[in-house]
């Protein structure tokens, strides 16, 4: 009996060892399967991450192409010297005069070395930017007309164009983005030789009979074809018009077309660009002008740093400023404090007295201000632009009746014969330097 029992015990132990081995094998198989599955999941995550990174990189590349192309378009426009985009579309069309680029079907083309050579369906079109390397890829940008006019149209009648940015990574990922851009859309024209925004303007047209304030385009004959006529003085609202008319003591010196005196002072609220009445827009416009200005200065900036007719500049002066003597400046001038032109000083181009909104012309000289003058008091109680009380009125408190644009000042003193005139071409020289603003954006 004892021998039989011993054998049974041995067999049971052997069976237990066999079961344990089987369990160990099963556990090993399960762990291996889990490891393989985790490996596949990890590899999939890596591939997804790499794909996501690649797609982001090519998207950023195509966006960079779009922004580069938009800047090149601005440079093309400056070089052409005309505010219309017809010249730019003709340049983009190449020698055959036909815009062939089609963003909807464009695909990358590579040379024998695997480098981006261009895109299909481009013909001899001239790109805004040729193949340009960026981190991990290459991009290009093309110009066409906007969809509303048809991408191949060579005449731009609505100031809208289309810029397409195309990006290709070294791994072959491809992306294209398209934007409809507006030419010089951020800056509305003043529509008056002197535009005083806000209620209760202080306007003094001076007592000199030799001066002239004219809304006739560049001082030309109003009845000739193609010449624009605007008010000599434009204001917002009938009360502001009545207030401004009190400042006319020499009616013959104010002209709008073939009308003179108080008839050349108009309430232009019904036909002016409504953005001129938006105080926040004017503050934002000031900030953007400052960002893009050729020079940012203050009251100590010498006149020698200003633009001249041979070399116009966009100047932003933070604070008060005086242009004196016989200096003749050119470009666009933005002054946030009080601007004074004294003596025979003149200026070719728009003058933005937007901030504290105070302008004075003194002295007995004969300088000409040509382009357009815009006066707006938007800097609030402290008289300093870009502070917390901007657009909060004289009390500096939001939500009160004086919020928005405050009363502006335009004052002429002295006995000189200096002229002030609206001149669209002088304004356009400034507008040429302004970027093309994106009004629509999409991925293709």
* Residue 443 is assigned to a structural domain of this protein: no
User: Has residue 24 got a pLDDT over 80?
Assistant: no
* Residue 125 is assigned to a structural domain of this protein: yes
DSSP per residue over 258-309, as a string? TEEGGGGEEE-TTTS-GGGG-HHHHHHHHHHHHHH-SEEE-TT--GGGS-BT
Q: Residue 69's pLDDT is what?
A: 95
Whether residue 163 sits in one domain with residue 198: no
Phi and psi based region of residue 99 (left: phi greater than 0; alpha: psi -120 to 50; beta: remaining): beta
Whether residue 298 sits in one domain with residue 236: yes
Q: What is the pLDDT of residues 169-197, one digit of tens each?
A: 988 889 999 999 987 666 788 899 999 99
Alpha helices in 81-132 (DSSP H): 86-92
What angle is formed at CA 284 by the lines to CA 281 and CA 288, rounded to 5 degrees?
A: 135
Whether residue 239 sits in one domain with residue 111: no
Whether residue 416 sits in one domain with residue 281: yes
* Residue 218 is assigned to a structural domain of this protein: yes
Picking from 183, 203, 235, the residue at the C-terminal end of a domain is: 183
Domains in the chain, number: 2
* Residue 437 is assigned to a structural domain of this protein: no
Q: Residue 153's pLDDT is what?
A: 95
- Give the Cβ contact number of residue 121 at 10 Å: 13
Q: Residue 5's pLDDT is what?
A: 61
**Cα 96 to Cα 152: distance, rounded to the nearest angstrom:** 12
For residue 14, name the pLDDT band (cuts at 50, 70, 90).
low
Whether residue 65 sits in one domain with residue 35: yes
Whether residue 356 sits in one domain with residue 334: yes
For residue 362, name the pLDDT band (cuts at 50, 70, 90).
confident
Q: What is the pLDDT of residues 207-225, one digit of tens each?
A: 888 889 999 998 877 667 6
248 and 265 Cβ atoms separated by less than 8 Å: yes
Q: Residue 126 has which token pair?
A: 């001239």
Picking from 138, 155, 183, the residue at the C-terminal end of a domain is: 183
**Cα 260 to Cα 231: distance, rounded to the nearest angstrom:** 10
* Residue 189 is assigned to a structural domain of this protein: no
Q: Residue 19's pLDDT is what?
A: 64
**Cα 331 to Cα 311: distance, rounded to the nearest angstrom:** 8
For residue 43, name the pLDDT band (cuts at 50, 70, 90).
low
User: Has residue 388 got a pLDDT over 80?
Assistant: yes
Give 168 or 186, the one with higher predicted confidence: 168
C-alpha dist (Å) from residue 50 to 42, 44, 404, 422 = 12, 10, 51, 59
- pLDDT more than 90, % of the chain: 61
Whether residue 257 sits in one domain with residue 342: yes
Lowest mean pLDDT across 15-19, 150-154, 272-276: 15-19
Place of tokens 């202080």: 202
306 and 322 Cβ atoms separated by less than 8 Å: no
DSSP per residue over 137-184, as a string? EEEEEEEEE-TTT-TT----SSSEEEEEEEEEETT--EEEEEEEEETT
* Residue 393 is assigned to a structural domain of this protein: yes
Whether residue 166 sits in one domain with residue 214: no
Q: Residue 179's pLDDT is what?
A: 95
Place of tokens 């340009």: 132
Lowest mean pLDDT across 44-53, 170-179, 404-413: 44-53
Residues pairing with 442 in the sheet: 178
Picking from 183, 205, 240, the residue at the C-terminal end of a domain is: 183
Whether residue 242 sits in one domain with residue 152: no
* Residue 438 is assigned to a structural domain of this protein: no
Q: Residue 345 has which token pair?
A: 């000083």
| Residue range 160-166: mean pLDDT, rounded | 95
Task: Give the mean pLDDT of the chain.
Answer: 88
User: Has residue 350 got a pLDDT over 90?
Assistant: yes
Structural domain range at position 375: 194-431
Q: Residue 86's pLDDT is what?
A: 92
Whether residue 209 sits in one domain with residue 165: no
Would you give the distance in Å from CA 253 to the centre of its chain?
A: 37
HSE at residue 5, side-chain half, CA atoms within 13 A, is 2
* Residue 60 is assigned to a structural domain of this protein: yes
- Give the Cβ contact number of residue 187 at 10 Å: 19
User: Has residue 206 got a pLDDT over 80?
Assistant: yes
Whether residue 383 sits in one domain with residue 250: yes
Whether residue 164 sits in one domain with residue 31: yes
Lowest mean pLDDT across 14-23, 106-115, 263-272, 425-434: 14-23
User: Has residue 3 got a pLDDT over 80?
Assistant: no
What angle is formed at CA 416 by the lines to CA 414 and CA 325, rounded to 5 degrees?
A: 90
User: Has residue 226 got a pLDDT over 90?
Assistant: no
């Amino acid at each position: 009996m004892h021998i039989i029992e011993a054998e049974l015990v041995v067999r049971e132990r052997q069976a237990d060892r066999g079961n344990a081995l089987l369990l160990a094998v099963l556990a090993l198989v399960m762990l291996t399967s889990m490891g393989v599955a985790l490996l596949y999941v990890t590899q999939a995550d890596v591939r997804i991450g790499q794909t996501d990174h690649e797609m982001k990189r090519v998207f950023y590349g195509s966006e960079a192409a779009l922004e580069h192309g938009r800047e090149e378009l601005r440079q093309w426009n400056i070089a052409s010297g005309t505010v219309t985009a017809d010249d730019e579309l003709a340049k983009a069309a190449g020698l055959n005069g036909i815009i062939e680029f089609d963003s909807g079907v464009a695909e990358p083309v590579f040379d024998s070395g695997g480098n981006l050579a261009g895109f299909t369906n481009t013909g001899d079109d001239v790109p805004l930017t040729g193949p340009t390397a960026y981190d991990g890829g290459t991009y290009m940008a093309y110009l066409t007309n906007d969809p509303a006019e048809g991408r191949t149209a060579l005449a731009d009648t609505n100031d809208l164009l289309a810029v397409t940015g195309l990006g290709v990574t070294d791994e072959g990922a491809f992306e294209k983005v398209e934007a409809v851009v507006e030419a010089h859309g951020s800056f509305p024209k003043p529509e008056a030789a002197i535009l005083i925004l806000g209620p209760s303007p202080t306007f003094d047209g001076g007592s000199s009979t030799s001066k002239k304030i004219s809304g006739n385009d560049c001082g030309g004959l109003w009845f000739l074809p193609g010449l624009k006529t605007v008010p000599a003085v434009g204001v917002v609202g009938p009360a502001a018009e009545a207030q401004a008319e009190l400042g006319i003591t020499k009616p013959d010196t104010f002209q709008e077309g073939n009308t003179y005196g108080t008839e050349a002072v108009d309430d232009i609220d019904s036909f002016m660009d409504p953005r001129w009445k938006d105080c926040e827009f004017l503050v934002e416009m000031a900030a953007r002008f400052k960002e893009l200005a050729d020079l940012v200065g203050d009251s100590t900036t010498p006149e020698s740093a200003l633009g001249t007719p041979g070399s116009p500049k966009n100047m932003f002066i933070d604070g008060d400023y005086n242009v004196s003597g016989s200096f003749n400046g050119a470009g666009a001038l933005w002054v946030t404090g009080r601007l004074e032109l004294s003596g025979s000083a003149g200026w070719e181009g728009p003058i933005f007295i937007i901030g504290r909104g105070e302008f004075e012309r003194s002295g007995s000289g004969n300088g000409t201000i040509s382009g357009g003058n815009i006066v707006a008091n938007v800097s609030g109680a402290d008289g300093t632009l870009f502070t917390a009380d901007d657009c909060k009125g004289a009390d500096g408190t939001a939500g009160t009746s004086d919020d928005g644009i405050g009363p502006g000042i335009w004052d002429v003193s002295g006995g000189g014969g200096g002229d002030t005139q609206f001149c669209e071409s002088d304004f356009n020289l400034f507008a040429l330097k302004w970027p093309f603003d994106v009004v629509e954006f999409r991925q293709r």
